[in-house]
Amino acid sequence: MVDYGLLTTIKEVLENDDTIAKMGLSKSVYFTLPVKTKFPLILLDVDEIWEDHTASLNEAQARINFRITIMSHMSTIKESLTIAGCIEQAINGTSMRLSNSHLANLRKTGDVIDLPLIQNPRSVQQFYQAVVWQKAWDHYG
């Protein structure tokens, strides 16, 4: 369940980030679309997991590709891009301790900006990769 631990930790980081809280989005971070969709919102989703169950303490246990989708109903993409910038500042290039005391290093791998017809939600997708290590957190501080 490395993927759930990673997404849960990222969700907590985003919900507790000051900039995201100032934008009023700390309660708008989800794993799936809510029944009553209220825009803007942030979705976390796993794309791929590569896991090595035989890894030693000095080897990566898993490599997880995930995406963060920012959706908005505004007529311009500016709101989604602003939120995407705040998310990138909060998690890109960071190391974080997961709930099972493993260490995850995060890096951004790309963006996709979607500008559909006027009546559809605008979205920005950010793609990230996390490398999860089995090393105990004690070795890092």
Q: pLDDT tens digits for 76-107?
A: 788 999 999 999 999 999 999 887 778 899 99
Strand partners, 133: 60, 103
Tokens of 86: 């705040």
The correct CATH number of 2-140 out of 3.40.190.10, 3.40.718.10, 3.30.2000.30, 3.30.1360.120 is 3.30.2000.30
Tokens 């969700």, located at residue: 11
Record the pTM. Answer: 0.87
Q: What is the CA radius of gyration of the chain?
A: 16
Which residues fall within 8 angstroms of residue 33, CB to CB, at 6 or more apart?
41, 43
Classified as helix, coil or strand, 82 is helix
* Cα separation, 22 vs 62, whole angstroms: 34
Q: Which pLDDT belongs to residue 113?
A: 92
Map out the domains of the chain as residue ranges.
2-140
Query: Where does the pLDDT of residue 1 fall: very low under 50, low under 70, confident under 90, or very high at 90 and above?
Result: low
Evaluate if residue 16 carries a pLDDT over 80: yes
Per the CB < 8 A criterion, the answer to whether 124 and 70 are in contact is yes
Percent of all residues in the chain with a pLDDT value above 90, rounded to a whole number: 59
Strand partners, 43: 30, 69
Which residues fall within 8 angstroms of residue 117, CB to CB, at 6 or more apart?
none
13: how many CB neighbours lie within 10 A of its CB?
Answer: 17
